Structure 1
Amino acid sequence: MTATVQPALDGSVPVVPAADYETWVEEVWPAFIAAAATGRTFTCYSVVDEHKLPDPPNPQAHWGRLMTLLRDEGYIRTAGWACSDRPTTHHSGVRTWKGTAAARREAAA
């Protein structure tokens, strides 16, 4: 059975979280590789917002896990801290990331 998504009152269709973690990673991974390949410093939310990426099955844990995977695979490195621009965080501190040479090679391939 296919689930239907109710449009919001303003006509927009909300993004539905992925059914499982692996499917979600496959969907969002290219956007983060592309962000890393630019060489600019970014936050996780800035990439999510720019590409309108869906939430994972467990947003409280999976966004951080994704960033750890990208770092462990050598695509990003920590760059520092910034105030979050996510509306629900009240400008709390978040880690910033920067792409590595591996990310630039991946995007060029």
Structure 2
Amino acid sequence: MTATVQPTLDGSVPEPRKTKTQQQADDYETWLEIVWPKFIAAAATGRTFTCYEITDLHQLPDPPNPQAHWGRLMTLLRDEGYVRTAGWAATSRPTANHSGVRTWRGTAAARRAAA
């Protein structure tokens, strides 16, 4: 089933609006350039966070393959020494039904890099 778009009074069809849930990057490298600085900044605070908290706070787009790329991002951040695992929490993502997710905390190296 497709949604129909109501034409305006002058007969033109408005551009469809992209909502936050519809935003998705076209390729992995472009998406990584957008989200990387936000996660580095979150790591520099030293507080514990989930991926969704940072994504929601900054209204970041989804990657081309959300099932694989979010985990890959966090693995890259961990391997680069910016974050470490901090435990588990119930997600605040509205569509995830409070599932358990990994929590992350920035490292001392992340705080030094931000200084």
Q: Using structure 2 for the length normalisation, give the TM-score.
A: 0.82
State, as a whole percentage, how many aligned pairs show the same letter: 75
Q: CA RMSD in A?
A: 1.5
Aligned match of 2:57: 50
| Residue 100 of structure 2 corresponds to residue 93 of structure 1 | yes
SS in structure 2 of the partner of residue 82 of structure 1: strand
Higher Cα Rg, which structure: 2
Runs of 4+ in 1 over 3 A off after TM superposition: none
Q: Unpaired segments of 5 or more residues in structure 2?
A: 1-14
CA contact (8 A) 1:33 1:103 kept: yes
| Residue 86 of structure 2 corresponds to residue 76 of structure 1 | no
CA contact (8 A) 1:33 1:106 kept: no
Q: Using structure 1 for the length normalisation, give the TM-score.
A: 0.86
| Matching of residues 1-109 of structure 1 within 5 Å | 6-7=16-17, 13-15=18-20, 16-108=23-115
Q: Unpaired segments of 5 or more residues in structure 1?
A: 8-12
In the comparison of the two structures, how many residue pairs are matched? 100
Partner AA of 1:36 in structure 2: A
| Offset at residue 106 of structure 1 (A) | 2.3
